[in-house]
Structure 1
């Protein structure tokens, strides 16, 4: 995967990990600004229909880097396991010696596919060649491959393709088209460190990369998805050399990382879930621990609960969840991966109806969980309510839903639930305890399309009101560019390149009075000023530079008086003079006295 020095949530304006950002390390890596992500609005649905229904896939990172497994010269190398050659500046000859120890005699592709299928995954994407240039297949374009360079001596992709066909699993290929540290002329994100790497990149593309892509599209049957990565030094002319190959597999889906302004079909956020989803097709890829390729000392495993909720979160926003596994050099999955796949599969066996072929939640926010939807041919809608925090009082409030309820039941056991109305919301009477502590799913059928009243934020227990970026209404002046809401747990408003853009929240005030206002901001500039507007009042505050778009510092904005009981609007705007973009996290209004 990608590895450039920044968090996986930030690039340019500190928002998205797009085509050349990464999660970790290497402080001398430089990031170039990227434009706002393109919207993939015109997609051939006959080609992508299966993908939009699948919602869940397995990513596999495997190769020679599993031999050093994060260690070089007796030291742990910070960063991603599959980037060790680059991050430790390992000479080409030294690194290629690792291949002599790569002998995955316990590789069982049928078992891999069966584990993916049991977990509820609908497709697999495997690294046919990562940035070290090592191919997992028999290639005539380069001897730096598993058949010619290892004692194993057999093609690893062919039996996986056969196993996928046998068990009805779709198979996609990751291919590093630009970065290649083992074949002469391939790009290197930080620049070459060994004379053995030097050569013509155009010659590398013509003689290695293009022929290898042709091989993987020719020799293994139908390929569902082609996953490019890190387009270092990819020009329009270089990218154009790959495009005719796609005609070999007309049904194939491609991502947005080829380079040369080629958009592809999928936007690919990495290691985070966009706060409000993305218009068009998108697929978030995530690791189970901190690395993609196997790394012997990375034991920071996400819990099964977190992984299942990530899947739900992604589906609730209309995306696909591509969850990574990093096999050991032997070919086995590490036991923590096996355990997590089994736990996900157990949950999916009961609740997969609420994930597959679903569309995004109609709610801006739910205080107790998430939702997905399915439209019926008769015009009615099924809403799947994924309840994380089970109500202690036996009443599940669905805020703002005004539709007539046709039926309500627990998905796991089919038990019918009583539905009623409370103000402008639906209330369901539910059992005293949840059926599943990770997420209990309620299947709610309503008449027509979901009708949701505007979301109004209420105060926390201490009286404070927290304005989250993901709950904001975003406003753009005609012809201008908008700000974006991005991120997971740490959401932010970013891409705020147009000072005419603004964000607003509706809040319910039960106790009028004076509120202090604070937020967290990030910007490399010191000339910006932001405003908080409530009614006729405006509080302005200058933003001091924080060093970068991903270095956040607390900003006390000031005080504002809210006299009106009931619904009020709070707006975040920019001072249009000398504006420089600022990233803004949550805004907190705290009552005084």
Structure 2
């Protein structure tokens, strides 16, 4: 696998309500018939297993020669001779290796499909391939065919089978793409020898000899325009899949984006990259429990069950899938830390699976509430359930949902088989649910809101936080005029995200209050001039205006004893605003910097 860095840019967002057809069970409008099972499944298993599993991240006493420690790259990173590399098969305990155990673990974890690395970048085939002699069938006695054994186990237990195939990169074939070719170069004609002589015939084997293949997972993390592979070759490969397995899914790492080719079934994000926006087409995050994809003997980075559940829920709340990797050892054993977390996830899904399987995004902003995420399911008759995934059980036992313009018919805990009603209050756009003293689940508890139809939302509201107060930030405003350059966090987050403002600028937010109240308005900013200059003005557009000077904030030490001096961000009280009655209020911040004295704005807080 190859990690991919993503640049972040800021755009002014005007929040809008998406239209939704209650006649459809699938919120993703750009989902073709082939991919509907995929959209419904949401959770799958990735298996990285091959010759590299025998090395365990170490070759002749030397650790993998790269700090990312991806054990499946050891053939390339440590420059191992091909003939020596295959001797790793001697370390495999073939009497203990049983792919059915992987399938049973997937079932226990609540996973609906499995994707196996049939051929990774090392070029070694985990089936009895008739193309060349670099495969299990030629190098094991008695012959083993892991693809066949896994396919049979998947069929037996009702799990869909996917196969990973490294089409672009092949370190073993003399005409395959080896990254060292960046030095010497390679002609298209040379590469096509590999393509026609290995890729196409091996793919034909996989698509004809192992029953139904539900997806082929390719791993070219760049577009074909940046690689030696031609679009013509990629279309040839996709056409072969469509011919032999018409219902087989193809991911965007084939090298063709969804935007370029609408026949691509789903988008694959970067390794361990979670979704950050709602999409109407199917998409997936490939992720690890550990750090390395293949088994690494020196692995020390293990994600917690809570972290993994949050990742799954996050993706589903944005219409995405989550495919979680296991890296078995050379005897087939799954590391204890991975198996434990998968079993714990499976226990959670056994209770809360309705909030994941067949569920998807709701219309509220992904960061609307600080208590967790929302997933949604609408049936054919229009009945809708909203699943409130509560990451942090409020100490005051009051859960607020802001932005829905109608009251639910019922609220209850998904873990409660009796569906005992939870008390709630509703006012215009605010639903307040009274929670029991004890949360039903130690990881994530789920509250269900039932509606007779698909509920409408109010546009652009900033929700009150769990413990009161409104956090008005550059990312959740609904209108802006002036500076909009969002500077991302720096110095490991000690310099926070902020707007760099050099001219008079205005930003506007909308809040809802459920009763008359008076709030303090505090602004967080950095200003590096020697003396005060300019003003902050906060106004309620249907009420009061308060103002304060922009005072110098100076610098601070970001990290002791590290020569780490950074601009200080401080909070300053601007004044008080009174809301005379329940209802909507538009809040505006006007920043008036002095000439030649820029100010960095972080947030406005009302409480």
Map 1:476-491 onto structure 2 (within 5 A): none
What is the aligned partner in structure 2 of residue 357 from structure 1? 358
What is the aligned partner in structure 2 of residue 52 from structure 1? 39
1:386 aligns with 2:386: no
What is the aligned partner in structure 2 of residue 80 from structure 1? 70
Question: How far apart are residue 108 of structure 1 and its match?
Answer: 1.6
Question: How far apart are residue 274 of structure 1 and its match?
Answer: 1.9
Write the distance in 2 (CA, Å) between the matches of 1:375 and 1:571: 42
Map 1:56-135 onto structure 2 (within 5 A): 56-77=43-64, 78=67, 79-135=69-125
C-alpha change, 1:587 and 1:292, in structure 2 (3 Å) is farther
1:205 aligns with 2:195: yes
Map 1:330-349 onto structure 2 (within 5 A): 330-349=331-350
1:589 aligns with 2:593: no
What is the aligned partner in structure 2 of residue 268 from structure 1? 268
1:467 aligns with 2:473: yes
Write the distance in 2 (CA, Å) between the matches of 1:167 and 1:475: 55
C-alpha change, 1:444 and 1:134, in structure 2 (3 Å) is same
Question: How far apart are residue 94 of structure 1 and its match?
Answer: 3.1
1:141 aligns with 2:131: yes
Question: How far apart are residue 133 of structure 1 and its match?
Answer: 0.4
Write the distance in 2 (CA, Å) between the matches of 1:188 and 1:243: 23
What is the aligned partner in structure 2 of residue 256 from structure 1? 252
What is the aligned partner in structure 2 of residue 371 from structure 1? 374
What is the aligned partner in structure 1 of residue 214 from structure 2? 224
1:303 aligns with 2:299: no
TM normalised by structure 1 equals 0.75
TM normalised by structure 2 equals 0.74
What is the aligned partner in structure 2 of residue 438 from structure 1? 443
Write the distance in 1 (CA, Å) between the matches of 2:165 and 2:77: 20
What is the aligned partner in structure 1 of residue 160 from structure 2? 170
What is the aligned partner in structure 1 of residue 410 from structure 2? 407
C-alpha change, 1:451 and 1:330, in structure 2 (3 Å) is same
8 Å contact kept, 1:103–1:150: no
Write the distance in 1 (CA, Å) between the matches of 2:193 and 2:215: 26
8 Å contact kept, 1:384–1:444: yes
Write the distance in 1 (CA, Å) between the matches of 2:438 and 2:338: 29
Instruction: Show structure 1 runs of 5+ residues with no match.
Output: 16-40, 477-481, 494-501, 520-531, 540-552, 573-585
Write the distance in 1 (CA, Å) between the matches of 2:405 and 2:35: 33
8 Å contact kept, 1:125–1:171: yes
Instruction: Show structure 2 runs of 5+ residues with no match.
Output: 11-27, 498-505, 528-535, 540-544, 551-564, 578-584, 592-599
How many residue pairs are counted as aligned between the two chains? 511
Write the distance in 2 (CA, Å) between the matches of 1:505 and 1:91: 62
C-alpha change, 1:513 and 1:163, in structure 2 (3 Å) is closer
Of 423, 431, 442, 1:426 maps to 431
Write the distance in 2 (CA, Å) between the matches of 1:475 and 1:234: 45
Write the distance in 2 (CA, Å) between the matches of 1:472 and 1:556: 24
C-alpha change, 1:240 and 1:362, in structure 2 (3 Å) is closer
Larger Rg over CA atoms: 2
Question: How far apart are residue 571 of structure 1 and its match?
Answer: 10
**Bigger shift: residues 207-216 or 509-518:** 509-518
Write the distance in 1 (CA, Å) between the matches of 2:387 and 2:210: 38
